[in-house]
Amino acid sequence: MKILTFKASMSEDLSKLCSIQIDILKIDISFVRKMLADKHSRYIVETIIYLSKKLNMKSIAEGVETDEQFNLLKELGCDCIQGFLLSKPLDVEKFKTMLV
């Protein structure tokens, strides 16, 4: 499985969409943090989610820390989230106990 994270240097990231097989588009934490207060960041998040759907990929947003961020991402159709809203970083053993 290959994941492409969209960061501020998007021109390089966009060229990778055509040259390698990618399964998931990952939305960088910098956009997630600003999307509620900055309309341009929100538009970028919306566009990445839209692009993932058009290219038959999944989208994942990193750094989700608040219910407001989660709700907006859900409304926009983001497939997955990761961040402190779900859990702090875990060591392997603690993670394994959560799976059982």
Q: What is the pLDDT of residues 41-93, one digit of tens each?
A: 999 999 999 999 999 999 999 999 999 999 999 999 999 999 999 888 888 88
As a whole number of angstroms, the distance between CA 43 and CA 93 comes to 39
pLDDT for res 2: 63
Residues 14 and 1 sit within 8 Å (Cβ to Cβ): no
Domains of the chain in sequence order: 3-99 (3.20.20.450)
pLDDT for res 88: 85
Residue positions annotated with a catalytic role: 62
pTM of the predicted protein model: 0.80
Q: What is the largest CA-CA distance in the chain?
A: 42
Confidence class of residue 99 from pLDDT cuts 50, 70 and 90?
A: confident
pLDDT for res 45: 96
